[in-house]
Amino acid sequence: MTTPAIRTDALVKTYGSIRALDGLDLEVRTGEIFGFLGPNGAGKTTTIRLLVDLIRPDSGAVSVLGLDPRSDGVASRRRVGYLAGDFVVDGRQTAGELLTYIGHVRGGVDPPRIDALIERLDLDPSRKIKALSRGNRQKIGVIQAFMGDPELLILDEPTSGLDPLLQREFEAMAKQVAAEGRTVFMSSHIMGEVQRLADRVGMIHEGRLTSVVGVDELRKAASRKVEVVFSDVVSADEFVGIAGVRDVAIDGRTLTCRLDGVADDLTKVISQHRVVMLTAEEPDIEELFFERYASSEGRDAP
């Protein structure tokens, strides 16, 4: 069996009377993008800080790339790219100068590699950091995490502050990492982002991992709205009772319905008619995820 990229066993972290992590068992596979989702205060940042040895657990074990981030700190830091949730930079130096400096400290990141990322995220390297907007500072954080092409990226809300275009760019960068067999572990509040990006989603609630689910699996199970325009008038009776089909409505030559899971039975009935147009919406997996997997405790009622 291959060593997981990240593994925690019964991890507990308390702050006085607050139990930030309450026996967290987590496993992230090599080469996957794992989305770590949970409400405010669930324990995402605490988990991430433990993984990069910024804080220490009360009990339980952590393994990152098969190493103990505490005793093998130097080795593990060299192989991990980390972006803090509260990544702060300030100063008179320019964004380019800072990134070059960080590259040196890390033991030599190729300047062309830094330049490519600067260009990709549309950061102006000549602007002084103190004059940059929040989103532009966040770009520096993202670049410094990615620039050493680490085996594992541990990212705490990496897209916070980035505009939608840059969020997409970030997603492409993360996918590229996974395509190269490297691993991305990232926290987020936004299911929409995670579903586009992640292979698996883990839900943390009150310091425990309440579920882990594959996004493909969710997508297959989720229901989607289907609309078919026929060249002739059809009858609802033909479509009622087909496996996976519900909410059948006919308006003249147009059928609308919801389809759960596999489309085979529905398409066979549809194909008995002449079809002018067929559309199937992207499934709303967010709804399904929260219905099936997210604990309702502590969440606001919808």
Ligand X SMILES: Nc1ncnc2c1ncn2[C@@H]1O[C@H](COP(=O)(O)OP(=O)(O)OP(=O)(O)O)[C@@H](O)[C@H]1O
Q: Which residues bind ligand X (CB under 6 A)?
A: 15, 18, 20, 38, 40-46, 85
Pick the closer one to ligand X by CB: 13 or 224. 13
Shortest CB 23 distance to ligand X, Å: 14
Nearest 5 degrees, angle CA 273-CA 277-CA 278?
A: 90
Contact 65, 36 (CB under 8 A): no
Pick the closer one to ligand X by CB: 160 or 195. 160
Q: Of 182, 186, 179, which Cα lies nearest the Cα of 48?
A: 186
Given 39, 66, 85, 161, the residue binding Mg ion (CB under 5 A): 85
Residue nearest to Mg ion (CB): 45
Residues that contact Mg ion, how many (by CB under 5 A): 3
Pick the closer one to ligand X by CB: 54 or 61. 54
DSSP code at position 242: -
Shortest CB 18 distance to ligand X, Å: 5
CB neighbour burial string for 213-242, b if at least 16 within 10 angstroms, e if fewer: bebeebeeebbbebebebeeebeeeebeeb
Pick the closer one to ligand X by CB: 92 or 134. 134
Pick the closer one to ligand X by CB: 151 or 157. 157
Contact 157, 85 (CB under 8 A): yes
**208-214 and 275-280 strand pairing:** unpaired
Q: Of 84, 92, 75, which Cα lies nearest the Cα of 47?
A: 84
Shortest CB 236 distance to ligand X, Å: 46
Residue 161 interacting with Mg ion (CB under 5 A): no
> In DSSP terms, which residues pair with 6 in a beta bridge?
28, 64
From ligand X, Mg ion, none, interface partner of 166 (C-beta below 5 to 8 A by class): none
Pick the closer one to Mg ion by CB: 187 or 195. 187
Shortest CB 85 distance to Mg ion, Å: 5
Contact 42, 48 (CB under 8 A): no
DSSP E strands: which ranges in 4-113?
A: 6-15, 18-28, 33-37, 59-64, 80-83
From ligand X, Mg ion, none, interface partner of 46 (C-beta below 5 to 8 A by class): ligand X
Shortest CB 86 distance to ligand X, Å: 9
State which of positions 16-45 bind Mg ion (CB under 5 A): 44-45
Shortest CB 34 distance to Mg ion, Å: 16
Contact 162, 138 (CB under 8 A): yes
Q: Which residues bind Mg ion (CB under 5 A)?
A: 44-45, 85
